[in-house]
Chains A and B, each alone.
Chain A
Amino acid sequence: MPKRKDIKKILVIGSGPIVIGQAAEFDYAGTQACQALKEEGMEVILVNSNPATIMTDTAMADRVYIEPLTAEFVSRIIRQEQPDGLLPTLGGQTGLNLAVELAEQGVLEQEGVELLGTNLSSIQKAEDRELFRALMKEIGEPVPESEIIHTVDEAIEFAESIGYPVIVRPAYTLGGTGGGIADDRESLIEIVSNGLKYSPINQCLIEKSLLGYKEIEYEVMRDSSGNCIVVCNMENIDPVGVHTGDSIVVAPSQTLSDVEYQMLRSASLKIIRSLEIEGGCNVQFALDPNSYQYYVIEVNPRVSRSSALASKATGYPIAKMAAKIAIGYTMDELKNPITGQTYACFEPALDYVVTKIPRWPFDKFTGANRKLGTQMKATGEVMAIGRSLEESLLKAVRSLEIGAYHLELEDVEQITAEELDQRLTAADDERIFLVAEAFRRGYDLDRIHNLTGIDPFFLYKIEGIIKLEQTIKAGRNNDQIILPALLKQAKQFGFTDRKIAELTSSSEEEIKTLRKQWQIIPVFKMVDTCAAEFPAQTPYYYSSYDEENEHESSDKKKIVVLGSGPIRIGQGIEFDYATVHAVWAIKEAGYEAVIINNNPETVSTDFNTSDRLYFEPLYLEDVLHVIEAEQPEGVIVQFGGQTAINLADGLARAGVKILGTDLAHIDAAEDREKFEQLLESLNIDRPPGKTVTSVNEAVKAANDLGYPVLVRPSYVLGGRAMEIVYNEEELLHYMEQAVRVNPQHPVLIDRYLLGTEVEVDAIADGENVLIPGIMEHIERAGVHSGDSIAVYPPQSLSDEMREQLVNMTEKIARSLEIKGLVNIQYVIYHNKVYVLEVNPRSSRTVPFLSKVTGIPMANVATKAVLGVTLPEQGYENGLYPEDRYVSVKVPVFSFAKLRRVDTTLGPEMKSTGEVMGRDRNLAKALYKGLIASGMKIPMLGTMLVTVADKDKEEATSIIRGFYDLGFKLLATEGTAAFLQEKGMHVTRVNKLREGSPNILDVIRTGEAQVVINTLTKGKKPERDGFRIRREAVENEVVCLTSLDTARALLHVLETISFAAEALPDRQSKERKEMAQYV
């Protein structure tokens, strides 16, 4: 069937902010879909609240709406735009749920909008556990024994009938939100009461436990004439029980015989047919390792994280094809874009092994519960390709950027035997490393298999790696470091030179020299969907220590761009956004753009983004190999976040040309001392600070600077382990608990300036400096720039202040000879400007600012890097004229997914994503922003207040504001008394220790709609404050931990609602007047 003629205008719904369980993969899918639809001459309308996405670039669609993804706003867009169809399957769970909502509200029918790809009933059949099970029964596909429940009691009854452990899974939630494994009654009660809250239809599934089964996924596609294919199957190394998003996954499956492979393949096709899906679909199975018995775990009737992975693993662009199928094409009419000559209606054949490892945020959230279960916790993932499983696995490990360059963790040998066994049994983020450690400690394979449930096939491979380590060690003797054959094997196993050097107590350089001498260098092979059966046209490469090199270089000038690796807190999709724009700019400028990255979720690793894609670890050795093969003009490191910046030094030392701001100046910004000297020379202030190497020094320094001070170790970036301390006691506690301080690891102590934080991104060409915009933060300094609401243009800065900021920015940019982007964070304290930090690279705010100012910043910066001056590009020096609209960037958090994480905002970044709100004035923009961020804005209701003494005075006016709007106030003793004094009626509630009903019950029972809670000093979780904040998160109650955010919300409410006020009293006067006449 060819393209449908009756559809001309299509609305595409994006997936909104990045949250755990829904990350960059949907920007990749959405972008591909938009491109595919435009290719077909469709008019594309896009809505997404996430500004940090390529798909929301105005070039991607005919009209782009960055608006909240709520039925209300999207209906408005539908009424305005009158699209013929809506594509719901590319915006993840968010897009799907929203589409369902719109359909059920009848909006689609009213406006004559057709759901494309997959119709409503199919979506419901797949998403609603009850309908889904019914369907599976009907077509004879096995699902685990289970029961749908709507109350806790029902849950208990069923659980005790089939016996614990049982799995609890809420309907219509994402990444397993609210789900879990219950081993006994209490845990069941806890999990279920949670799950019911998270499920939009208050429905949970209680299910027979399949722990220990093999978890296998199939990515399937179907078109309108019923053709079905399997794009890829994947096997989780972690057995069922660990969420696929948190599992280490390999593709294709490794331990399935053809019989099992085809059995599950046929089941997948049967399912997608019965659901009549037109497009892509993900089917998850649990397969008994000891029989043919299998169960269908779930089906996602849409593109997913797994389909993005499958696309990158096979080269088959699922989202693109899904979009074309949605407008009527059948797969046999579509060409396979990789080969250009065969058709999309086939099943990719891999001739390599793909490994995906999730990236977890526990480096940031040291307090979080690291255990892995049925609820996803990873923020991102890396993928690696190799010709052997070992190679693929070790490449993936060093792609993670967790400091590991081998299957080995620092200090792992200190783990006790029993801890090791525990952590092998109950999976956490480091289990794969612990498996290796167990082998090093001489555990035998069976024992590890019994502890972990991991298939012996994979364990044997890991054991092989450990054995090889030992062989290499043993092989070292006086007259030779290592034998050529052994070195070759080590490289084919994916060992780094560094590790081999370690094992042979030689140097990385020596190993490298030996390799060169013995011709042990990697070749580059192509990912071509067809295992070389047909010539491929798309240059998508991976390295391997094999024989034939397929890399074809061209004589055109090339530029290499380094990507930013896995999505993590502090380095999110914003950096991929910039990377992609850099690549496009490079092409525009007439060079070949070569990209190196390892994140399967992103647009930058879409094979048709760059001229050549290298799916490789962003690890110096691997990067250098690509550069040797490509011989580029130079490398651009300023778009790949800290990942790329950190590689600059090594690259430069290897003689690679760094394009843009040069290394010396990057260093001048990154190195604290050099940076201080620089500011001095420019006589620009930074918060007074000291570097200390002992506890005593610290105490002294703090006293000299005066409390509060901000402390952080010098050796980690990204606000990690950064704390504000208010007195000596806290300081000592910090020095003992949080850091190890010594001359190698100094600690930085800064005076904490409680001022307005301002962020500026600028573009320079070495001499001219363009400042697209200044952003003012709602929250005061002390709340990480990534976690505070940024406002453009600034609302409270005087023109003089703007002046000053512009001048300083120009000065800094010029003295650092910035070529490209620079990001500067300032704090304005008592009308004086201080510089907090300078990042000589693209920043988190670049996409937002690009969108609100209309300046394609990454593009302009790249051209500047390539030598086109700003004037030549048509830009003048100084601050770009400000928009008359107000735009806000609101952070989005994933606290619901991360148990035991404190939600208080502080100098450590915690948000995973962002949304944008734009409107005529601040209040409206904020309103949109807050709504888009998922906040259920309470127009009226009850507010629970517990503020630290230090904040009480300041809090008064804010709380009074809510009070005047008619909010009922609840507070604990101290705060209550205080507020009453200020003349507000307050109902007192019990503190925790005062026994229930206490403050937590108030939240749990939904009595309060808003909580204002400011941090009482100390971070120890058992504190009431922490429990209150967590309770609020678990119960989806708005919880404001910064008075500034509270003030902003108040501002919004004041402008959209009315206060009830009595008339001023005139009566007495009137009475007098009347008296005269009586």
Chain B
Amino acid sequence: MERKPARLILENGEVLHGISFGADKDSFGEVVFNTGMTGYQEVLTDPSYCGQIVTMTYPLIGNYGINRDDFESIRPYVHGFVVREFADYPSNWRNSSDLEDFLKKYDIPGIAGVDTRKLTRMIRMHGTLKGIITTSQEADEVLIEKVRQSELMHDQVARVSTMRSYRCPADGPNIVLIDYGSKQGILRELLQRKCDVTVVPYNVTAEEIRRINPDGIMLSNGPGDPKDVPEAVETIRELMGEIPLFGICLGHQLFALASGADTEKMKFGHRGSNHPVKDLADGRVYITSQNHGYSVSEASLAGTELELTHVALNDGTVEGLKHSKYPAFSVQYHPEASPGPEDSGYLFDRFVEMMVKNKGVKQHA
């Protein structure tokens, strides 16, 4: 089958040529790269990528197809997918459909045949870039200009968070999971630990949560700039100290803001399954799965009640925090893995222990 030519046009004026696959439509977004060699299905369905055009640095994508189990949310939120080569003949016992059908089904455009390493190097040097995937005939200049004019979205969390609360009953600790764009993985890990989880929308109020009277609050991952969701920060600030907290990724950043620290945009962020993080308590290094474009600025911790617990081994950025008074901690990376190393799952156990202990304390009081 003859495929349409497609272009990826970037704000820095670069134009990358390739062929169109998946949905045939133009799509705008922030272009980022992920260095994971496996896990494209999880990446595509991780709500944290909402509004972004993702390129995988590994050149062969789609090898093992798409299966029913490895979704991190009910649908993909990426705005586009850029690969060197996609597999039109995937092979894996769980495979039920292929990458292209999947993208078509969810109306997501892809571009293949691109020198993704060139693109990655560009992003490394310039930082993340606004870009558009197009199959149109429009002149490069016109589109470059269009890309430069267009604004990145700020309402991703609202788009990906659940509309209504829902509950997954179990006989363990009662947890409220605030969904800023939560990956299934977080829920999975909590349920595995017998937690009784109530998933609530990002804009839930402190009052609503108090009514549920949970043993702990899980702040999920999510897309974009934490400063785009001040209401979430507000809720957390109110409940801190009152109910044990565990924040992941965006949840970690919101927790930091709520505690008076500040966040900043990174040049091109951390996205992949091979990021070493040092636990300052015991000096151990964990290989972690990461996906974030913003980070908590270490300098801003001064004067807050936050303690730095984890740092990125390579660039020293903040990867973990805990509150010096309250039962509350957070990590920038993804202990729920999927995709990525399972080394940090123990953090969920820590969370559960924290809640149990806290309960004990309460009862004695």
Contacts and interface: CB of A to CB of B under 8 A. Distances in A.
Whether A associates with B in a native complex is: yes
A548 B118 contact: yes
A352 B120 CA distance: 14
Nearest to B120: A532
A347 B287 contact: yes
A457 B91 contact: yes
A480 interface: no
B346 interface: no
B284 interface: yes
Contacts of B94: 257
B212 to A, nearest CB: 32
A533 B272 contact: yes
A651 interface: no
A353 interface: yes
Contact of B339 (A225, A258, A349, A547): A258
B252 interface: no
A259 B35 contact: no
A531 B38 contact: no
A456 B91 contact: yes
B274 A257 contact: no
A343 B90 CA distance: 35
A532 B57 contact: yes
B142 to A, nearest CB: 23
Given A262-B342, A343-B276, A533-B35, A351 B57 contact: yes
Contact of A258 (B16, B90, B117, B340): B340
B59 interface: yes
Interface stretch (A248-256, A886-894, A1054-1062): A248-256
A346 interface: yes
A154 to B, nearest CB: 36
Given A343-B276, A387-B84, A258 B57 contact: no
A258 B38 contact: yes
Contact of A255 (B67, B91, B278): B91
A255 B283 contact: no
Contacts of A387: 59, 84, 117
A496 to B, nearest CB: 21
A251 to B, nearest CB: 10
A226 B275 CA distance: 17
A683 interface: no
A809 to B, nearest CB: 52
B340 A262 contact: yes
A193 interface: no
Given A262-B337, A548-B121, A290 B287 contact: no
A119 interface: no
Contacts of A330: 283
B89 A546 contact: no
Interface string B34-78: 011111011000000000000001111001100101100000000
Given A257-B67, A258-B36, A548-B117, A266 B342 contact: yes
A229 interface: yes
Nearest to B69: A259
Given A257-B94, A460-B91, A532-B120, A227 B342 contact: no
Interface residues of A, number: 54
A361 to B, nearest CB: 33
Interface string A840-854: 000000000000000
Interface residues of B, number: 53
B287 A531 contact: no
Interface in A380-428: 387-389
A316 to B, nearest CB: 11
Interface string B323-347: 0000000000000011111110000
Contacts of B64: 255-257
A926 interface: no
Contacts of B92: 255-257
B276 to A, nearest CB: 5
Contacts of A532: 57, 117, 120-121, 124
A568 interface: no
A533 B120 contact: yes
Contacts of A290: 93
B149 interface: no
Contacts of A212: none
Interface centre among B87, B124, B341 (most CB of A within 10 A): B341
Interface string A526-555: 000011111100000000001110100000
Contacts of A257: 38-39, 41, 64, 67, 70, 92, 94
Contacts of B313: 332, 342-343, 345-346
Contacts of B342: 262, 265-266
A229 B275 CA distance: 11
A225 B39 contact: no
A330 B57 CA distance: 29
A197 B240 CA distance: 70
Contact of A348 (B274, B339, B340): B274
A261 interface: yes
Interface string B269-299: 0001111101000011101000000000000
B333 to A, nearest CB: 13
B115 A349 contact: no
B59 A225 contact: no
B179 interface: no
A546 B116 CA distance: 10
Contacts of A259: 69-70, 338
A347 B273 contact: yes
A525 B121 CA distance: 11
Contacts of A550: 121
- Of all A-B residue pairs in the complex, the 10 with the closest CB atoms, nearest first, are A548-B118, A258-B39, A547-B115, A457-B91, A531-B57, A347-B274, A258-B38, A258-B339, A349-B35, A460-B89
12 contacts: A252-B37, A254-B60, A254-B63, A255-B92, A257-B41, A258-B339, A262-B339, A266-B341, A351-B57, A388-B59, A531-B57, A550-B121
Given A258-B38, A261-B39, A262-B339, 5 more contacts: A351-B58, A387-B59, A388-B85, A457-B87, A533-B35
